[in-house]
Chains A and B, each alone.
Chain A
Amino acid sequence: MTDRAFAVVRAGALTTVQDQGRPGHAHLGVPRSGALDPGAARLVNRLVGNPEGAAVLETTVTGCAVRPRGAVTVAVGGAPCPVTVDGRPAAWGAPVRVPAGALLEVGAAVRGLRSYVGFGGGIAVEPVLGSRSADLLSGLGPEPLTDGAVVPLGAASFVPGAVGAAPWPGPPEILVLRARLGPRDGWFTGEALRTLASATFRVSSASNRIGLRTEGPALERAVAGELPSEGMVSGAVQVPPDGRPVVFLADHPTTGGYPVIAVVREDDLAAAAQARPGTPVRFLPYR
């Protein structure tokens, strides 16, 4: 077998292959998916000399460990974490050369949730509908990594060095989400709209790639009854019957029947995806 591959030594809590997702298929019920912190995924690709949309690993909380069969340049970014090669400390947020057969360990996130591991040449699993992203809602794309799996890499055809190292904003202590009201803010009481703007919510541990769930005051509906299913966007703040807002992330369903009180700006979603359970959340609604 080619040496353009790595073996998974420790898969970690949830490590998936992600690129910039598969837009354009929402009308068929296919989520956009893709890296939850797309800026981090783009940057680790630039650090190893890949096109920004190449497929990378997205880890969750506990990192992962892999053993490349051939020498490869890697870069780890996103959530800050310790990085080692055969037990020796290596740089985070900068290109690192990993020799053939060496063990690359991406440690547990020190802050934030999701680290990104870019490999020179990119991860070369078979694309589905033009994307290598694992979509955990509908099961498209590669399965999450498992111990012992072998993952193919593409041929490195770009020269690293476009970026040597990159500054990285740490995940904030308080998650502040700017959100445009609507399209269904009229389905909620004035009190619910005031609560959305003034209360401090917390990130729930039930959050995942589909949505950032929150704990806090329930938002009360002014309109009873069911909303016919309508199209959903990333950042939609959907309010299920329990009144606890859910912010839709990359693997969200493409249509849904619970009213959306507001939509979080796309620029703020990467921070949402890096916020740990318990992090305070404030919404800044605007019209």
Chain B
Amino acid sequence: MRTRPVGDHALLVELDDGAQVRALHTELLRRRAAGALPAVREIVPAARTVLLDGLAETRRLAAELPGWDLAELPERAADPVVVPVRYDGPDLAEVAALWGVSPEAAVRIHSAAEFTVAFCGFAPGFGYLTGLGARYEVPRRATPRTAVPAGAVALAGPYTGVYPRSSPGGWQLIGSTDAVLWDTAREPAALLSPGTPVRFTAAGR
């Protein structure tokens, strides 16, 4: 664990991998709930880092953090959010070819994996989900699409994501879902937040 100042009121904590990010994020939330963390406006986990923004001062926490004992991650306590997917995306065949399997096998691989929301970003409610093995990483499309429909289930790098609303995007589209990823009239607004376990199930093609 290593910390870097981000301006005068934020701290970026660098970690070795996504599992450590999850462990630190869990510990930060635990300490905040227990009143054992200095006041902080935002705690933003990402791929290899956790950002703490809106601290009165950063030095004391920066000095203290590397000494924290990050407990082993608890077994998944929560039931996974289940997202039914029609595996009908225009890039499914290409993704299957990159994996060296048939499209049917690609669907089985994706719907058998246990995903976790590693972090959010890009748009409200967009989660970067990890859970596929490293050998299933795929590149972004060379030319991004100008409009990816809401509900598109997509892959890029080590991540799976679901577009909460129509937007431009360069990810490989493998399917679509009717699940509502973001609804400000709902509490909580986001279906997926950092740490949420997720399963995708095949709902026809």
Contact = CB atoms under 8 A, between A and B. Distances in A.
B128 interface: yes
Nearest to A255: B121
A249 B121 CA distance: 16
Interface string B89-123: 00000000000000000000000000000011111
A83 B120 CA distance: 43
A148 interface: no
Interface residues of A, number: 34
Interface stretch (A24-32, A66-74, A211-219): A24-32
Interface string A127-145: 0110000000011100000
Contact of A129 (B49, B53, B189): B189
For chain B, the bracket of interface size reads: 35 or more
Which residue, of B41, B44, B45, B123, has the highest number of chain A Cβ atoms within 10 A? Answer: B44
Given A235-B7, A253-B122, A265-B7, A27 B12 contact: no
A190 interface: no
B10 interface: yes
B184 A29 contact: no
Contacts of B46: 228-231, 255
Contacts of A30: 124
Contact of B7 (A25, A27, A138, A264): A264
Interface of B: 4-10, 12, 41-51, 53-54, 119-126, 128, 165, 184, 189-190, 193-194
Interface of A: 23-30, 128-129, 138-140, 179-180, 182-183, 228-233, 235-236, 253-256, 260, 263-266
Given A29-B124, A254-B42, 18 more contacts: A23-B42, A23-B54, A24-B42, A27-B44, A27-B119, A27-B193, A29-B125, A139-B165, A183-B4, A228-B47, A229-B121, A233-B9, A253-B121, A255-B121, A256-B121, A263-B8, A265-B8, A266-B8
